[in-house]
Amino acid sequence: MNMFLSWLNADGNENPILKAAIAHLWFVIIHPFDDGNGRLTRVITEMMLARAENTPLRFYSMSAQIQKEKKGYYAALERTTAGALDITAWLEWFLGCLERAIESSGAVIGGVMEKAAFWQKHAARTTNPMQREIINRLLDGFDGKMTSGKAAKILKVSQDTAARALKDLTNRGFLSVQGAGRSTHYVLRR
């Protein structure tokens, strides 16, 4: 651990992103604690990436991306630690994962910007908390079709109350009705 910490905190000429990848791998191999090694490894990785960018704030999370790619993560670790001392495959996986983390943050930022633009466009129009919740769910990419039944479950209200909220949003131009009868659902007007 002393060697690891000395290397980790030394100002060397290593590429700082590669150093983050190597630090991650090295700490996993050391595995100094009975519990919490994975979480601590991800924290070290995030810290090293923040150091590499010389900023305490980043718009992507390597830790979250690793969680999304757990199967590939463990496979890359196993391939690297089971064989010779060649860590090339690990570095390739790590850098690919980092690229995917950055790409997915672009989608998140795009969604936040779209949401901000929508609310700025409609700043003068009032909505109640239930209506804002419905609109925000739709802006966040609601999975499936927004029906009065689904709105009732989301809002924890009766289906009639949800239907009134959806109808009011439709009458005020926030939503459009699609389908008819049992297939009636609502989409956001942008």
Q: Which residues are catalytic?
A: 31
Is-contact 155 130, C-beta < 8 A?
A: yes
The pair of three-digit structure tokens given for residue 11, joined into one six-digit string: 């100002």
Structure tokens belonging to residue 19: 């150093």
Q: CA–CA separation, 29 vs 155, rounded Å?
A: 47
Residue 58, Cβ density class (10 Å: 0-12 exposed, 13-18 middle, ≥19 buried) = middle
Where residue 156 falls (left for φ over 0; alpha for ψ -120 to 50; beta otherwise) is: left
Distance (Å, whole) CA 119 – CA 121: 5
Tokens of 85: 């001392």
The H or E element that residue 177 is part of is strand 175-178
Residue with structure tokens 């109350």? 161
